[in-house]
Amino acid sequence: MMTHPMKHPATHLGALLGFLLAGLPGATRSQSFTVTNHLDIPRVDEIVGIPMDEVRRFIPADSISYVQARESDQRTYLRSQAVDNNLDGETDELLFLVSIGPGETKTFILETTGDAATAVPGNNTPAAYSRFVPERQNDYAWENDRVAFRIYGLQDTAANARKPPGGGIDAFLKRVSYPIINRWYKNNAEREGAYHIDTGEGYDPYQVGASRGLGGTGIWEDDSLFVSSHFIRAKTIAEGPLRTIFELTYAPWDANGRTVMETKRISLDLGSHLFRVTERIRADKPVPNIVAGITLHDKQGEVNADSKAGWFRYWEPMDDSWLGTAIVMDPSRVSGFRDYRTEARDQSHLLVFTTPVHNEATFYAGFAWEKSGHFKTAEAWEHYLRDFSRRLTSPLTAVFL
């Protein structure tokens, strides 16, 4: 039975922290930390996460009203977000948005203050965002300042209902930095098919059908792809504004004689073209692999890949423009890939194979649309994917002084 997601409204750092005092706040506390970019490429508007346990080491609960971070030589605070990753009512991680040059180390100050963090973003402020969309046949949609996506929920939850193949991910091609999900769904409710027409903000020309779309998953065996139906439950973990997180749960499904239980946790950061998927599966028999797929549509595009770097991309014509799609995975977890083309409808895919570890597999998927202005060529898209893969292997981390 389809259930509505748990509401967990997006709130900035100051208002969400779970350690507000019952009494008067104590004196202001502060602690310096550094962040180093070990790569020879700039890291622009990238998220640094600080575990809450680390914060409590330096700033006792009896002195905290709000916690902020700023560069040591600046008075303005960084854009921030507090995240309760397990929805137990306690903040688990503080997120800050930073920019650091190649090989640079910056010093920051984490401190308490009596002021709220930053103003809640308005409707036109770039932000990561997601929500369940029951008014449009149980979609779940997510976006940031560069890309937007949706995945379909099960429309008929009756026990004897037909369960069509599901799990394929759709791409909303946006070319504006402000949020569009709510407006596009509202426009479509008023005029069916409205978001399939580009009126200046972008549109949805991406055909999913029974395919994996952009980053859908399955199990490959005996030269066949076995997949779930549409999700049956959705849970919002964080709406944003720096990172949006949600979970989707699927009814048990058959994979060549196995009964598979599946949950996806998906997140998207502000400024990124790729969302993160952590696929969790359990089965009554060993699972040979997990595959992440990209539909090849009418097979008019070009596949390219670098398994050693962990990126796999497709570059295809899309109406009067070009679209680049991709999967990025830790290369040590890649067991192979396949440019699989067939005459069967919706079944031609770029497939990336991995072996689950402790019943989990993690990868990234996303797109670049020529008309958004960010990438004009397949080579530029590949350059981004190479750098993205390098950033994954060298994350920005806080080191307290």
Query: Averaged over 15-40, what is the pLDDT?
Result: 63
* Cβ-contact 143, 179 below 8 angstroms: yes
Q: Residue 19 above 60 pLDDT?
A: no
What is the residue extent of each domain of the chain?
A: 13-118, 129-393
The tokens describing 17, both together, are: 């922290």
| Domain covering 129-393 in this structure, CATH number | 2.70.98
Q: What pLDDT is stored for residue 2 in this prediction?
A: 43
Task: Give 390's pLDDT tier (boundaries 50, 70, 90).
Answer: very high
Q: Residue 353 above 50 pLDDT?
A: yes
Task: Give 45's pLDDT tier (boundaries 50, 70, 90).
Answer: very high
pLDDT 10s digits, 266-292: 999 999 999 999 999 999 999 999 999
The answer, as to whether pTM is greater than 0.75, is yes
| Domain covering 13-118 in this structure, CATH number | 2.60.40.1180
* Cβ-contact 295, 214 below 8 angstroms: yes
Torsion sign over Cα 161, 167, 172, 177? positive
Q: What is the mean pLDDT of the chain?
A: 89
Burial 379-395 (b: 16+ CB within 10 A, else e): eebbebbbebbebbeee
Nearest to 132 by CA among 213, 234, 2, 242: 234
Task: Give 66's pLDDT tier (boundaries 50, 70, 90).
Answer: confident
Listed in sequence order, the residues at least 6 apart from 261 whose beta carbon sits closer than 8 Å to its beta carbon are 250, 252, 281, 282, 283
Task: Give 10's pLDDT tier (boundaries 50, 70, 90).
Answer: very low
Nearest to 325 by CA among 381, 393, 262: 381
pLDDT 10s digits, 287-335: 999 999 999 999 999 999 999 999 999 999 999 999 999 999 999 999 9
Percent of the chain with pLDDT over 70: 87
